[in-house]
Chains A and B, each alone.
Chain A
Amino acid sequence: MAESSAGAQVVLGTPLPLLGKSDTKPTWCPGCGDFGVVAAVEMAVKRLKIPSHNVAIVSGIGCSSNLPHFLSAYGFHAIHGRAIPVAEGIRWANHGLTVIATGGDGDGFGIGAGHFVHAMRRNVDLTYVTMDNQIYGLTTGQASPTSMMGHRTKSTPDGVIENPIDPIALALAAGATYVARGFSGDVKQMADLIQGGIAHHGFAFIDALSPCVTYNKINTFDWFRQRVYKLESAGHDPTNIVTAWQRALEWGDKIPIGLFYRTERPSYEDLEEVLAAGPLAKQPAGLRGREAILDDFR
């Protein structure tokens, strides 16, 4: 059971609604990979039996960042690239909550790349799911930080001439303690990976290969189906950082999906001593009766 599942806040004997769909229907294009991701998030949280009011789902801006609207949890649909710092703030205000950040590859690896790296080095206990379609969809088809070399888009009519970011390798380098890749074509495995990420103590990163059926005509469902293979079936040991690196560097004819790496180290919340007294939102505030503080200025 996740440390962050906030079971303690639930009144015993009172059945509380589990996470479900909201009254808002997804607005994604028919066939979009993101449908698989939202289904996997819902499945993962449900299996962990975390009541929906103890979940906060945070996103940035982009097609995929509409995700919080489609589930029944608390949500924060923030500005482009800033899902992670908003999610961190929520965690530190109330670490009794399960916090899930979601977004796209442009949001997380382009405009928000700095926050992504720092959240991993500080091992904040939240789960970050990127819906990686290697394209900017909502702005109608420009190159993204994960677009492959040569990819012709509206902004790169002669093809991309920058090496793409490898999110898995970046996560390993930045010190993420749970690093996985899922594929929207396999919702069951994706749900397992997200469930493992939420249950994981520390920063969990799941890069979800989530094809854009409208603007990315290269990295399609079929393209991935011909290439993906499961790490667990290949005998990969997710506690081995050396082989995790080797697998992370594979991209081309064969693309591994599954859990690359998992390790344990204290989370930021463990090391922030102020939080040892319980969720910040439940702690006393103000300076009544604290006159001695003025001795600083005498």
Chain B
Amino acid sequence: MAGFAIRVGGAAGDGIASVGEVLSRSLARMGLHTFGFNAYQSVIRGGHVWFQARADRERVYSQGDGCDVLYALDKATADMHLSSIAAGGCVIHDPEKFALPASEVPTGVTSLEVPTLEIARKRTSQSILQNAAGLGAAAFVAGIPLEVLQTTLADSFGKKKGDIVEWNLGAAADGFAHAEQKASVNDHAVARAGPGKLLMTGNHAIALGAAAAGCKFLAQYPMTPASSIMHWMAAHARDLGVVVKQAEDELAAINMAIGASFGGVRSMTATSGGGFCLMVEALGMAGMCEIPLVVVESQRSGPSTGLPTKTEQGDLNLMLGAGQGEFPRAILAPTHPADAYRATVEAFRLAEAWQTPILVASDLHLSENFSTVDPDEIDLHVDVPSLETVEPNGHEYKRYQYTPSGVSPRALPGQPGLQWIAGSDEHDEKGHLISDVRSGVPIWVAERTKMMQKRMRKLDGLRADTAKPIREGPANAPLTVVAWGSTVGAVRDAQRILAARGVAINIVYPPTVYPVDGPATHALLDGAGKVLLVEGNFSGQYGRLLRTETGIDLQEKLVKYDGEPFYPMEIVGRALELVGHG
């Protein structure tokens, strides 16, 4: 089986995302690797939205390219997506909603007419019930057993009981039965592949990872695509004992998180590029005051408001340079949800160990789309040590004591006898300002230099303490693809497609985008064949970083800034151009 993809499309407000999520979860419960892709717009009603649920026995890392089933709730969906249906696939629609002339249906594609509105009317006047009928038909075509679909559908209503749930289950059964009359449409159906998998978005994984790492305080201001981190944490706040604060703006959100960290808890804030711009000044304060802090930056298409519901990797330069002056930071770039869980746990460890802000770079594609994760990829047994690391010992306490690592002992408010001042001004070892009456005085000029060096030593420590770049695939492959973050997913899918065609490629990607480990990067790229840089921005920002830090200049680039994630076939096409048709 080469995998299976179900696409459903309609207008915003039609419930497309709910249908897609039920399909994705049903497939995950069948033990299939699943990717759920939600293509939506910045409107609440109307427009065109679609969702693709793609499943396979092998791991799938992206939305894939075409689909096998299209469930079109409106004509616009049919017009836009009919050509994406693979040969042998089918299109589901209700002729009462719109006519689909046979001449418009591609050769080799079956048209399956399902009376979804009629099925709904048998139960209620609420036309939204039609979705359950369409869902039933799509499930039959895909090979999802009716009982799996019905259980998942019922679970999607949560604790809700009564007619609405029963109507949905009945309509799903009717749609399923209707499709069953045309049994040949499920020739490509999937089958149960093993124990159920977890289905989560990157944002779920980030929130879960934060909680596992001991995060007790999350402050955010709503902004797509970071908001669902706050939503998940807020839904579990009481249960987990996490204070979740929706702040008045991103300025407040990051400053609250910094205050909470100073006050003695692990804390985090999350936002997208626009909000991160507002946080930049405080990020530098966390660096200067040596406050541990985790900041999630989930990128979307910029500049400015840009395309709020579309993805991009355009904020790397911003994350690298955010804040006046220089201070140590690390930027972690997870590639899929299981990775995002681990990266978030790691971000908290690093923030505490190095007492400085750690950024987790996500993007809309990772943050909001669904992927399956094996339960054993989520290790909840994270060590959460006490933050009280210093006790009074009769000696004078120096919060910013010079140490070989640059990390100084940190006392928390409430600890007797260790009072100190966190100063955003330059300060000496005790935290006393050297910015006013001391500035420019020779001994304090020297002190400033020493304090700057103390902080920046932590960058060397971070470089040694963070994950090295990774190579996936044969070392001697004629083509190496360099990518970072969620784009690695489409490259992995492309690698599999190419392998099936006899073309080997390897992928080199950095779990830690910054600081860059030069020798480790050289070790992976110096002996490579052709190298192609793939990233989701206009100028190739990661390529520029690599050139600056390592001198490695990647000439071949595949960049994308149209708001859409990479599709595996785009990468396959470019790879074949570079290394021939194997």
- Measured CB to CB, the residues of A under 8 A from B are 6, 9, 16-17, 24, 27, 51-54, 56, 58, 61, 66, 68-69, 72-79, 81-82, 84-94, 96-97, 114-115, 117-118, 272-275, 277, 280-281, 283-291, 293-294, 296-298
Contact = CB atoms under 8 A, between A and B. Distances in A.
8 cross-chain pairs, A with B, having the tightest CB-CB distances, nearest first:
A89-B259, A93-B263, A281-B264, A285-B214, A85-B255, A75-B421, A86-B259, A89-B260
Contacts, number: 218
A93 B252 contact: no
B33 interface: no
Contact of B243 (A24, A280, A284): A280
A77 B412 CA distance: 15
Contacts of A6: 414
A79 B259 CA distance: 12
A119 to B, nearest CB: 9
Nearest to B214: A285
B212 A286 contact: yes
Contact of B256 (A76, A86, A289, A293): A86
Given A69-B433, A88-B259, A78 B285 contact: yes
A149 B40 CA distance: 51
A288 B260 contact: no
A285 B384 CA distance: 7
B65 interface: no
B342 to A, nearest CB: 14
Contact of A53 (B200, B240, B262, B414): B414
B281 interface: yes
A85 B219 CA distance: 10
A296 B233 CA distance: 12
B260 A92 contact: yes
A87 B241 contact: no
A287 B382 contact: yes
B255 A89 contact: yes
A140 B328 CA distance: 33
B468 interface: no
Given A58-B259, A280-B265, A53 B421 contact: no
B320 interface: no
Contacts of B413: 53-54, 56, 74, 90, 94, 97
Nearest to B281: A79
Given A69-B432, A77-B423, A272 B243 contact: yes
Interface string B185-224: 0000000000010111000100010011111110100000
Given A58-B259, A90-B262, A294 B238 contact: no
Given A281-B264, A283-B241, 15 more contacts: A53-B417, A74-B413, A82-B255, A85-B247, A86-B258, A87-B259, A88-B259, A92-B260, A93-B260, A118-B248, A280-B217, A280-B260, A287-B208, A288-B381, A297-B198
28 contacts: A17-B417, A69-B421, A72-B419, A74-B413, A75-B420, A75-B422, A76-B259, A76-B422, A77-B425, A85-B251, A85-B253, A86-B255, A86-B259, A89-B260, A90-B263, A92-B256, A94-B413, A114-B248, A114-B251, A115-B248, A118-B248, A273-B238, A283-B241, A288-B384, A293-B236, A293-B240, A293-B380, A296-B204
A53 B236 contact: no
Contacts of A85: 247, 251-253, 255-256, 259
A77 B198 contact: no
B128 interface: no
Interface of B: 29, 196, 198-200, 204, 208, 211-217, 219, 232, 236-238, 240-243, 245, 247-249, 251-253, 255-267, 281-282, 285, 289, 373, 375, 378, 380-382, 384, 387, 412-425, 432-433, 436-437
A85 B437 CA distance: 28
Nearest to A92: B243
Contacts of A84: 252
Given A72-B419, A286-B382, A293-B208, A89 B196 contact: no
Contacts of B199: 297-298
Most interface-central of B252, B285, B412, B415 (chain A CB within 10 A): B252
Nearest to A88: B256
B155 to A, nearest CB: 9
A17 to B, nearest CB: 8
Contacts of A92: 217, 243, 245, 256, 259-260, 263
Contact of A76 (B248, B262, B415): B262
A76 B232 CA distance: 31
Nearest to A52: B419
Contacts of A58: 259
A233 B214 CA distance: 53
Contacts of B242: 274
A135 to B, nearest CB: 19
B384 to A, nearest CB: 4
A285 B215 contact: yes
A274 B237 contact: yes
Contact of A298 (B196, B258, B416, B419): B196
A287 to B, nearest CB: 4
B341 to A, nearest CB: 11
A78 B255 contact: yes
A54 B258 CA distance: 18
A221 B375 CA distance: 69
A91 to B, nearest CB: 8
A278 to B, nearest CB: 10
A285 B216 contact: yes
